[in-house]
Structure 1
Amino acid sequence: RHNSTGYTPFELMFARSPRFMFDFISPPSVPLTTDTYRKTMQQFMEHTLLAARNNNLRHQLKAKQRYDSNRSNPQYYIGQNVIIRNRSLAMNKFSSKFIGPYTIFKQVNNKTYVVQNTKNNQHTRITVQDLRSI
């Protein structure tokens, strides 16, 4: 069974379960006309798309909950001094991981802030995962 749809590839291709050797012992199924087969396939594909969409939404929600369970939710106020993660391309093992000091200038949304360099008044937009309070 596929994770996102809940069906096997055979079931998606033929809109029925595969027949195995023991299934031939049972009475044969009634052959379908092309119109009824087309309608059956169309209904099955609509159902499959809804099932896949619902499964994907459920998996996304679970993944978000797992990710958020390991994250803290720090709150900073305007004017607070912070340091930011060094994302420089020239960073090596002797470089400091954080640079600063910076001052919180504005809160854009729940997880994003605009910080101002205290030395040259340059503004940088940064997320809370790259901020540390001093």
Structure 2
Amino acid sequence: MSPSHRTLFPAARSGLLSPHVLALAGVLGLSATVARAQEESTTTLKEVTVRSAQDVQTLPAPAAGGQVAKGAGLGLLGNRDVMDAPFNITSYTQQVMADQQSATVAAVLENDPSVRFTTNAGHAYENYTIRGLE
């Protein structure tokens, strides 16, 4: 038996209580205290109703000039303003495509400095990288 058991529990010193019995008594006392605390703290909350007023299909409004939008649909993040997005985004509108008379996606993406083309102009397959990702 350790010296701490001899000084704290005189009955254990005389051999009446073993350390295992003392540990079991401590566990039972702790579990009774936890059960009492759970009974006392039971609270029922009011029902909460959540409603959404945002239409997830609505596109963000175009910025002044109509060439780019003020936001974008970011998948799980929903429609976000460009200033609230966690990364840099540029959303081109239908007007910029019409003004440039774009025939392909590559023609629109030429406006973005982070896009690099890996094929020649007019190629049947438009291969490009965006920030180094193909």
Give the TM-score, by structure 1 length.
0.27
| Higher percent of residues as strand | 1
Structure with greater contact order relative to length (CA < 8 Å, sep ≥ 6):
1
Give TM-score scaled by structure 2 length: 0.27
